[in-house]
Amino acid sequence: MKTRNLHIGASTHRTVNGQLNPTIRIRPGETQLWRLANISANIYYNVHLQGQQFNVIAHDGTPVDRIWTADSLLLAAGARFDVLVQGGPAGRTQLQIAYETGPGGNSFPKATLATLDSEGRSAHPATMPTSSFGPTQDLSHAPIATRRTVVFSENKEGTKFYINGKQFDPDRVDMRAKLNTVEEWTVRNDSG
């Protein structure tokens, strides 16, 4: 099959669990656990639930050090957030996405991913957790074995991608970390 005019910003349909703008039902006060996953290869999404808060309990499958709330979340390609959502007063609201990647990038205008329908008998709202679910290791005072700067860039046409000036090659390893050491990385994106 031959493809023509294939472009990252081309018009497309965004789905939730394979459905186009499904209705998610929740009772007022009910708490639901949602896993928000961006399974695209290279598109970022800013996800927003109008009039609601996301209570973030995990990022990329790992419990967060401290549970935090946000009214929108930036999901990079391949990223996941586990969030608790509580049903608001009876009514409908939208789970929306939008994102601008910058002057040399792409534009993804606001679109509705799903509609949240808060209806039915009210539930007693659960108390949202405020701390982590388990102990975490604080590495902020650990000795730093290595400091690295990682620079992402691309050619003018946006067809070749580089890491520290070397064209990306999935079969090549340029950096190795020693087991049980702490490294400090500065990651910079020099592309448009």
Residues of the chain with pLDDT under 70: 1-11, 132-135
Determine whether 95 is exposed, middle or buried from the number of CB atoms within 10 Å of its CB (0-12, 13-18, 19+).
buried
| Strands 107-118 and 91-100, sheet pairing | antiparallel
CATH label, 23-118, candidates 2.40.50.100, 2.60.40.420, 3.40.50.180, 3.40.50.920: 2.60.40.420
Per-residue burial over 143-181, b = 16 or more CB atoms within 10 Å of its CB, e = otherwise: eeeeeeeeeeebeeeeeeeebeeeeeeeeeeeeeeeeee
pLDDT of residue 77: 86
pLDDT of residue 18: 86
Structure tokens at 117: 């329908």
Residue 71: per-residue pLDDT:
93
Pairing mode, if any, of strands 144-154 and 182-189?
parallel
Q: What is the DSSP letter of 101?
A: -
Q: Where in the chain is the domain with CATH 2.60.40.420?
A: 23-118
- How much is the pLDDT for 160? 92
CA angle 71, 76, 81 (to 5 degrees): 50
Closest CA to 70 of 56, 89, 91, 59: 56
| CA nearest neighbour of 119 among 34, 26, 24, 23 | 26
Q: What is the pLDDT of residue 158?
A: 84
Write down how long the chain is: 192
Tokens 């002057």 identify what position? Answer: 103
Please tell me the predicted confidence (pLDDT) of residue 142. Answer: 94
Q: What radius of gyration, in Å, describes the C-alpha atoms of the chain?
A: 20
* Token couple for 45: 């999404």
Tens of pLDDT, residue by residue over 108-122, are: 788 899 999 999 999
Tokens linked to 88: 């608001």
Residue 20: count of CB within 10 angstroms of its CB: 11
Distance (Å, whole) CA 60 – CA 54:
15
